Structure 1
């Protein structure tokens, strides 16, 4: 929707011209009069000077001297005539002098005024041009008609291992589409959403790529753990028969084939070197700002246990870089055991024993909210001094169910790379999301898939602005996404670089559970993220071989 801006026009202002004061005019007139008299007298005197040539003066016949009356009359007439001529001459000269003087002063005054009143830039706003007006919309590619753009959202939902696991991703994309359509649509068309359940299954994930190839313009909000083969995704033909692939705006990419797909753009950045064969050394960047803050503000000497999610080789490989980065900061790792979603609370007792033996003061889980709840519950059950330990979790603990655990999770730290849901007054994109999702505490997956939608939307809008609504094709979208070097979901998230897979999002914010609520602790000001360059550590190792179990 177009926004109407206020038009500011700044005109040049001229101050009133300065006038001559009455006394100055009178003095000026008298000066002119005196100069005129002096000129006449000098002319008359000059005509009566003695001749110095030495020649004799001619004889002049004598005349009778006029009587006094005639002298008086002649004097009066001469005086009157001279007065008239002098007045006329003086008036003309005074007018000329005054006009010239006033013009000079006025020019000087105007120059000063113009110098003082330099025109300010005119604050104007170019009128917005409706790209949809007077355009015959066309079906420019697969998934685009003259009035619709179809996107596919694929997520792991229907598996009996984790029913409804990523339903939030589907909800987020649908909420985004409804919001965009309510604002007038995208590329002069309405957005339609089709769904596919990848069911934590590699075959169903591949099937989802094939459906998108044939029926959708792009994938938005992809949240599938087993994208083991992306051949069909990357080689799908467009409407012209070019095997360019389907644009895939994913939330998470856990497997190397998905992380390194040339058509995939994940808002949760892989921060890893590509291409990658799946084994051997790999350059990876890790976010460490949250633990750096602990070292500087809470405890300068940390030692403890890091739980590594070990259900999949990909989760191990994606977790180990952060663990090793903690060690780069000087944190001593007392143990790095693997943990599964099926690990029972009593089995956490073994981790508690490691902490007791090492006198640990730090406990970090790379798993989910239930992992931290079980860990802390077992620690209390075994009488561990939980208040002497700094407990920390990642985004997966930012859930309502985590708070429902009550006092057992008090003082746990959680870090995010986006503004929390309760800061709607500080970011419009966040506010729009919270209204559209219609959930007081949506799952993080919903926020991620909404961000995917905004990324797709921004790329498409850029194409329309440059070439019009009929310039939107799969190739144009791929080119536009690959050129983005900083995308921050309109200030809601840490900025991300889509020109490479290696750069991690550098920003974070830290919360702590206090009195059964998530409370911001750093940065203290709402609406802000910490984006210090020291938040990132880069390492190159064979990450699969790093895990000791």
Structure 2
């Protein structure tokens, strides 16, 4: 569900809209968990000899005797990685801060257990501040072994430097098409340009009979939303759902009144609405206008609508009909999903910001650390690319639905949450913590929407060189 296509069309204008679209939302908790320690109990576990766990995943961290300065950023005793976010962007202070906070916390957690095979992890934290991704990447090229768990909105501007210096990454998220499909790039939760997870749409059609017969899309003049809507329309066609085409299109710069749009949806007979548009004042005004004119369609939105901002806005219950499809476990499921509780314990105890993008970065770190552990003393970029390319089922210990990092393919699952007042609750599947999955949810997309050319290995060719590190079987 993440709107990679959005930034591919007009990244400089819309990255703020894109960052969490389906990869995750900004929804997060803030209360510290009683009894939590800064290392999540890692020190006590190590001292007792007990196996440290992250949800269902046995920790990849621990003591060992790995040796050798095997590659850039690797010594006998340390591994230097880069990570970061856009927290210094003046127009949105703290942008994706949860990602850097998560990786910083995970480095401490891992080092408390002994590091990776005994090598301590050193982290270079970068602030791309939205417009400085290329500068950050050039710094990382000179000093880091790999990039891990980072999320830079303008990663497309940095991709040529990353590929040029053969810097592998297990990214927290990618936005640009060349970044999403680049060589030496892995993600714990991939969102490639050529495949789309149709599970949220299919679940919506299953849950709401009116969705198939009477739904429409909330669109906008924003190139981002138009591109996202085009992809959604294609996906809807694959499950035999045709939007009503009521002719409503919001102005990306704002409109003087949203009542005419609400009345148009009402007269058109809309029973359900979907949007690729992220929650913002314009979207809230439209929903308030729908309520004012007596239109109450079922709202099935993207994961960005699982958000603390939406929950705070919904004081009057206007958004009580909002549903969002997620591939991550919501925080409300923490008592049922140990990995979610572990994430919350660790980051809250460390004073960081918690949000779904933070869980995404956490999953990326765990994926990286698992491959690094398996490389042993032979910790080279080539070994990492080899190991990561072989991982075809990954959940981050239960943080999210199964994905295929090695094949750069998305999840084929979803769950649905509903907002009531300021509280979200999983409503489908009925069993809390479960996902609804199916191989037929993996939809091939129209090449005209890709934004880049792919080779026979589904790798973007724009910056490709003969010297990139390729998996060796």
In structure 2, what is the equivalent of residue 110 of structure 1?
A: none
Shift of 1:396: 1.0
**What is the 5 A alignment of 1:527-538?**
527-538=433-444
Shift of 1:489: 0.8
Larger radius of gyration: 1
Q: In 1, distance between residues paired with 2:220 and 2:126?
A: 26
- Alignment CA distance shift 1:471-1:373 (3 Å): same
Deviations for 1:208-245, whole angstroms, at most 9, x for unmatched residues? 21111112111112212222242221131xxxxxxxx1
RMSD: 2.8
Contact 1:309 1:319 in 2 (8 A): no
Contact 1:344 1:374 in 2 (8 A): no
In structure 2, what is the equivalent of residue 252 of structure 1?
A: 173
Contact 2:228 2:276 in 1 (8 A): no
In structure 2, what is the equivalent of residue 449 of structure 1?
A: 361
Q: In 2, distance between residues paired with 1:449 and 1:486?
A: 17
Deviations for 1:372-413, whole angstroms, at most 9, x for unmatched residues? 4333123234x1422xx0112222122222111121211210
Tell me, yes or no, if structure 1 residue 518 matches structure 2 residue 424.
yes
Question: Which shows bigger deviation, 296-305 or 397-406?
Answer: 296-305
Shift of 1:178: 1.9
Structure 2 unaligned spans of 5+: 1-45, 52-60, 452-473
| Residue 458 (structure 1) aligned to one of 361, 370, 376 | 370
- Alignment CA distance shift 1:460-1:199 (3 Å): same
- How many pairs does the alignment contain? 388
Shift of 1:181: 1.9
Contact 1:395 1:444 in 2 (8 A): no
Tell me, yes or no, if structure 1 residue 484 matches structure 2 residue 367.
no
Q: In 2, distance between residues paired with 1:473 and 1:178?
A: 22
**What is the 5 A alignment of 1:38-437?**
132=63, 135=65, 137-201=67-131, 204-229=132-157, 230-236=159-165, 245-272=166-193, 284-300=194-210, 301-308=212-219, 311=222, 316-317=226-227, 320-333=230-243, 334=245, 343-344=253-254, 346=256, 348-349=258-259, 351-370=261-280, 372-381=283-292, 383-386=293-296, 389-405=297-313, 406=315, 407-437=317-347
Higher-RCO chain (CA-CA 8 Å, sequence separation at least 6): 2
Deviations for 1:34-63, whole angstroms, at most 9, x for unmatched residues? xxxxxxxxxxxxxxxxxxxxxxxxxxxxxx
- TM-score (norm: length of structure 1): 0.65
Shift of 1:165: 1.8
**Matched residue SS, 2:195:** strand
Runs (4 or more) in structure 1 with deviation over 6 Å come to: none
Shift of 1:330: 2.8
**Matched residue SS, 2:91:** coil
Structure 1 unaligned spans of 5+: 6-129, 237-244, 273-283, 465-469
Shift of 1:511: 0.8
Q: In 2, distance between residues paired with 1:249 and 1:338?
A: 37
Deviations for 1:390-444, whole angstroms, at most 9, x for unmatched residues? 1122221222221111212112101110211122233332222111110798222
Q: In 2, distance between residues paired with 1:506 and 1:443?
A: 22
Shift of 1:159: 2.3
- TM-score (norm: length of structure 2): 0.74
**Matched residue SS, 2:125:** strand
Q: In 1, distance between residues paired with 2:396 and 2:247?
A: 34
